[in-house]
Amino acid sequence: MTDISFSGKESLFYFLSRMISLALKDEELKTMITTFWGSNKIVDKNILLIQDAENLSEDFIKEFQSFIHNNFSLSSPLEIYQEPIQLKKIPIHNKTTADPDRIYMDGCFDLMHSGHFNAIRQAKALGKTLVVGVHSDAEIARNKGPPVMNEQERYALARSCKWVDEVIENAPYSPTISLLDSFNCMYAAHGDDLSINENGDDCMSILKRAGRCKIFKRTEGISTTQIVGKLLLMTKDAWCNVSTPLKSNELIDQEVEKTSSEHKKNLLTTSRRISEFSNKKEPKPTDTIVYMDGTFDLFHIGHVETMRRAKEMGDFLIVGVHDDQTVNYYKGSNFPIMSLHDRVMCVLSTKWVDEVIIGAPWNITKQLITGFNIKIVVQGTVHKGDPEAKKWRKGSVDVDEDPYEVAKEIGIYREIESVNKLDTQDIISRIVENRVNYFSKFQVFTQREKKYDDTKVFVQEV
């Protein structure tokens, strides 16, 4: 391939302009250029207007030259500056027999929230079979710092998602063409944000240049970074008990509060998105309807394991999710960490859940049981009425009433042994034990999210 170099911005700008003119007559070339701009987040907005050479940033020039080197050869270097420009396109990827309906996506899936699940949903919509790679603890620690949830918890939670067909454990942080081919996947899917590996490179750059990466819309207003920020603020009291100078503790708290307030974002839930998450399924008259309720804050494997076992007790599982005000009244402190809509969509993403009651009452009433034709009321042995589970809840009210009293009187109450004892307090304890490291990670990723917000362009949600 001919080596291509540009003497300056003006020469590159002239070449770019001529290439775009040629693309108007060549649909394949036009598609390649459009894909490059659509997947490249460092492109200045003014570049798309192609009005002035000064609009070309140094980052764009570097990325564009790489694009040219990897996709084109020129019959003569001089023809860069002459008309007509004769581009001889080379294949943008090797011939492959991979299935275009098999989509690969990967991620850490740490402290899973509705943004993760919406990404998985969109990726599945791009094909028929979704293969999800989950990074190991060591791979995440090397590329972005330690995860909160361990790899076995994250593998299991990924498998519980109704849109996931296959899970690849210990997936590499930066996927390659050979990796896609080994899983018989033609395309990888990724959000419109930039994922950076330990070398500072775009993890998806190889696949983007090969035309084997499909981009979907990143869910706005929710991220693991935000959740970690809230947890850092919740751990202030516990942090005072460890052997670190109070000045450092106060500095961390002040910085988290300042950063969180400056970059405060809310999950913007639309009716369409809720509809896409819904199963749109009605119970049959003969179905045994099972009901379980809860907060489902910091959604984890303990939640989904109880749901799985609850579904086995009947035909149709309804899950009640308490609203934010109710959760805060009974649990106090800064609970819930995740908003009602975020928690609802996490529950709806689980393959064993058929329907969700949004804003379910804390106490299960006769009206609720009759209105939904509930035959069995289920709760895990680690549940909201357990005094042991309430002891650590700062500011929670002391309630003697049994939320399941009516169900017990009717004789439809059942308890499921909570095999996985993980709960919200365990997750908070992990943050406490490694608070300084999580704070450093919080600072880095908050700045990355701010940069993404400042430069993002519209991407249609799938």
Residue-wise pLDDT for 167-176, tens only, equals 999 999 999 9
Distance between CA atoms of residues 346 and 163, nearest Å: 12
Average pLDDT value for residue range 11-28 = 58
Q: Which of 63, 89, 115 is the last residue of a domain?
A: 89
Question: Has residue 399 got a pLDDT over 80?
Answer: no
Report pLDDT for 64.
65
CB 197 within 8 A of CB 174: yes
| 458 in a structural domain | no
**Residue where the block lists tokens 């007790």:** 313
CB 230 within 8 A of CB 266: no
Q: What is the CATH number of the domain that holds 160?
A: 3.40.50.620
Question: Has residue 102 got a pLDDT over 90?
Answer: yes
| 74 in a structural domain | yes
Q: What is the number of domains present in the chain?
A: 4
User: What average pLDDT is seen over the chain?
Assistant: 77
Report pLDDT for 253.
46
| Same domain for 178 and 46 | no
**CB-count exposure of residue 92 (10 Å: 0-12, 13-18, 19+):** middle
Chain CA centroid to CA 223, Å? 7
Report pLDDT for 192.
87
Report pLDDT for 321.
97
| 338 in a structural domain | yes
| Same domain for 387 and 275 | yes
Q: Which of 105-114, 224-233, 449-458 is predicted least confidently?
A: 449-458
| 461 in a structural domain | no
Q: Which of 128-137, 189-198, 266-275, 400-409 is predicted least confidently?
A: 266-275
Average pLDDT value for residue range 435-455 = 66
| 448 in a structural domain | yes
Residues 405-430 pLDDT 10s: 999 999 999 999 877 778 888 888 88
| Same domain for 205 and 332 | no
Question: Higher model confidence: residue 65 or residue 372?
Answer: 372
| Same domain for 407 and 282 | yes
Structure tokens at 431: 């943050």
| Same domain for 48 and 111 | no
| Same domain for 199 and 144 | yes
Average pLDDT value for residue range 243-257 = 41
Q: Which of 1-15, 208-222, 291-305 has the highest mean pLDDT?
A: 291-305
| 4 in a structural domain | no
Question: Has residue 86 got a pLDDT over 50?
Answer: no
| Same domain for 285 and 151 | no
Domain residue limits at 161: 99-219
| Same domain for 250 and 163 | no
Q: Comparing C-alpha atoms, which of 245, 249, 175 is closest to residue 212?
A: 175
Q: Which of 89, 118, 150 is the last residue of a domain?
A: 89
pLDDT band, residue 43 (cuts 50/70/90): very low
| Same domain for 75 and 15 | yes
pLDDT band, residue 27 (cuts 50/70/90): low
Report pLDDT for 165.
98
CB-based burial, 240-249: b 16+ in 10 Å, e otherwise:
eeeeeeeeeb
Report pLDDT for 296.
95
| Same domain for 392 and 317 | yes
| 2 in a structural domain | no
| Same domain for 31 and 83 | yes
| 460 in a structural domain | no
Question: Higher model confidence: residue 459 or residue 388?
Answer: 459
**CB-count exposure of residue 65 (10 Å: 0-12, 13-18, 19+):** middle
| Same domain for 406 and 279 | yes
Residue 328 vs residues 7, 269, 323, 332, 424: alpha-carbon distances, Å: 63, 21, 9, 5, 14
Report pLDDT for 458.
67
Report pLDDT for 82.
38
